[in-house]
Amino acid sequence: MSAPVRVLLVDDHAVMRAGFRMILESAPDLVVVGEAATGTQALSAASELRPDVICMDVQMPDMDGLEATRRLIADPAVRAAIVIVTTFDRDDYLFQSLEAGASGFLLKNAGPEQLVEAVRVAAAGDALLSPTVTRRVIERFAASGGADAAPADAPRTGTGTSTPARLDPALLTTLTERERDVLRLLADARSNAEIAAELYIGEATVKTHVSNVLQKLGARDRVAAVVYAHRHGLA
């Protein structure tokens, strides 16, 4: 049996943290290893506790969740995936979260099962991109003419990867037929498990294909790959 996913809760409301803890620890594969009430506390707790996933609020005293996310993603010693959990369904929070390197964006009024699934998805290395979020990201880049996103997550990979605006359309020809299939399904907001079921392959194989796609396209993350697919007619 694999080790449970280690979760750090970051929220300035103790009642909210208690509720999240109760929900997450009701799942046998998840364990809450710590809590923090501010962004600064989150930096220290992440370094000390080494969580797999951090559930991060946005509006907090001392340091907000967006800045904390940027700093954590930029720290090579921290390998946690970060899921933003906020009350506010605001585009600026959504886009800044993704640009900072967060693996997901969830509203606090989501159901308990959605919170559990968000943590599991992030821990598995997937980005939590619902069709609605994907559409908003696509619309943003289309409306802005592909303005560069902030490269806040670049230090994690150290590869100098690009935003969707900078990706060469010719790179699509470097993908194998199966990699194109995977990219098409990514653009349709499918999870690794869903892609595996659609293509009749294992999830480990899907992860390998996704990694190859990101590397060949020079895409910094799944969001960039999804935007690329939409912009160049694959989706």
* DSSP result, 71-93: HHHH-TT---EEEEEES---HHH
CATH number for position 188: 3.40.50.2300
Specify if 144 maps to a domain.
no
- The answer as to whether 115 is a domain residue is yes
The partner residues of 9 in beta bridges, in order of sequence, read 35, 55
Residue ending a domain, among 97, 128, 159, is 128
Intervals of the chain under pLDDT 50: 146-165
Q: How many domains does the chain have?
A: 2
Q: Hey, which residues does 106 pair with through a beta bridge?
A: 85
User: What does the pLDDT read at residue 141?
Assistant: 62
Residue 18 lies in a domain: yes
Residue 92, C-beta contacts closer than 8 angstroms, at least 6 positions apart: none
pLDDT at 142: 57
Q: What is the pLDDT of residue 134?
A: 67
Element (DSSP H or E) covering residue 229: helix 222-231
CA distance 47 to 40: 11
Q: Does residue 184 fall inside a structural domain?
A: yes
Which of helix, strand or coil describes residue 10? strand
Q: Containing domain of residue 156, as a range? A: 149-231
Same domain, 189 and 124: no
pLDDT confidence of residue 57:
97
pLDDT given for residue 98 in this prediction: 81
CA–CA separation, 109 and 114 (whole Å): 10
* Cβ atoms of residues 12 and 63 within 8 Å: no
Same-domain check for residues 87 and 162: no
Query: Is the residue at 142 inside a domain?
Result: no
Residue at which a domain ends, from 62, 94, 128:
128
Tokens of 54: 């951090």
Please check whether residue 140 lies inside any domain of the structure. Answer: no
Q: Are residues 121 and 157 part of one domain? A: no
- Angle at 116 (CA atoms; ends 67, 93), nearest 5 degrees: 30
Write down which residue in 128, 158, 183 finishes a domain: 128
pLDDT score for 157: 32
Identify the CA nearest to 24 among candidates 52, 61, 63, 59: 52
Identify whether residues 106 and 14 lie together within a single domain.
yes
pLDDT at position 85? 94
Query: With contact defined as beta carbons under 8 Å apart, do 163 and 220 qualify?
Result: yes
Q: Does one domain contain both 176 and 217?
A: yes
Q: DSSP character for 102?
A: -
Taking the model in full, what pTM does it have? Answer: 0.72
In a domain, 138, yes or no: no
85 and 27 both lie in a single domain: yes
- Same-domain pairing of 124 and 159: no
